[in-house]
């Protein structure tokens, strides 16, 4: 029986083959350059398998942070390239049927350039945004039957920190500072605290010890 991880890698293989067929092969460039692009995309699409081969898990790349961010940017760009290529094919196919023209007529070199630039830019923006210090979202809850003594209780929830090579000790320290500045009565850390082994994250997770709240800090070490 296939595991979810197996299905994930199968989907990525299908995505790669589709991008190869519909995006790379029709490019108006030499065969050698198409081969270079195909090999590069194949490596990017197999990023998680490479991690498994190197570290035994696809969730904890243990190489320098700039390379982790670069790999994340390129993988997300590949995923977007697949989505944009598929969508453009669907739109072009519908238009071709209506106008009785070839699909290739609508997806020329300029359109492909726009697709790849859009994928790279959106992925870059997403990667940049992902590593920024998280903002504070305030939510007021009304609970029927809440004891009067707990009216106005301030709870801070931190979830899915995914402390890793991408989110290291300095970033964690800033999260802790922002959390403590809210003067919470209770702090809840609700899962997905680290990516990787405890030993690998020992230094990066250390700033969490500085979280303070009168009613305590409660953490769930497992999945969110």
Give the pLDDT of residue 94: 84
* Residue after which a domain boundary falls, among 88, 103, 130: 130
- How many domains does one find in the chain? 2
pTM of the complete model: 0.85
Per-residue pLDDT of the chain (224 residues; tens, 9 = 90+): 667 777 888 999 999 999 999 999 988 889 999 999 999 999 999 999 999 888 888 888 888 999 999 999 999 999 999 999 999 888 888 877 887 766 555 566 678 888 999 999 999 999 999 999 999 999 998 888 889 888 889 999 999 999 999 999 999 999 999 999 999 999 999 989 999 888 889 999 999 999 999 999 999 888 76
Inside any domain, residue 136? no
3-class secondary-structure state, position 63:
coil
**Residue 159: CATH number of its domain:** 3.60.21.40
> Does residue 42 share a domain with residue 72?
yes
Inside any domain, residue 139? no
Residue-range definition of the domain harbouring residue 195: 148-220
Give residue for tokens 């709870």.
155
CA gap 198, 204 in Å, rounded: 10
Give the pLDDT of residue 2: 63
Query: What DSSP string describes 117-182?
Result: HHHHHHHHHHHHHHTSPPPP-------TT--GGGTT--EEEE----BSSSS-HHHHHHHHHHHHHT
């Amino acid at each position: 029986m296939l595991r979810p991880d197996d299905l994930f890698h199968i989907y990525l293989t299908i995505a790669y083959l589709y991008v190869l067929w519909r995006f790379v092969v029709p490019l108006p460039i030499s065969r050698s350059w198409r081969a270079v692009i195909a090999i590069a995309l194949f490596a990017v699409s197999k990023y998680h398998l490479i991690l498994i081969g190197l570290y035994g898990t696809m969730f904890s790349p243990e190489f320098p942070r700039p390379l982790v961010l670069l790999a994340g940017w390129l993988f997300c760009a590949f995923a977007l390239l697949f989505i944009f290529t598929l969508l453009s094919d669907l739109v072009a196919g519908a238009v071709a049927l209506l106008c009785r023209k070839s699909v290739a007529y609508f997806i020329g070199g300029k359109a492909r350039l726009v697709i790849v630039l859009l994928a790279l830019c959106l992925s870059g923006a997403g990667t940049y945004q992902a590593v920024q210090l998280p903002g504070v979202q305030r939510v007021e809850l009304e609970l029927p039957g809440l004891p009067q003594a707990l009216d106005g209780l301030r709870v801070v929830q931190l979830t899915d920190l995914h402390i890793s090579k991408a989110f290291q000790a300095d970033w964690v320290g800033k999260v802790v500072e922002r959390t403590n500045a809210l003067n919470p009565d209770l702090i809840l850390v609700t899962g997905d605290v680290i990516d990787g082994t405890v030993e690998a994250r020992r230094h990066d997770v250390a700033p969490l010890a500085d979280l303070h709240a009168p009613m305590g800090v409660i953490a769930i070490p497992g999945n969110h």
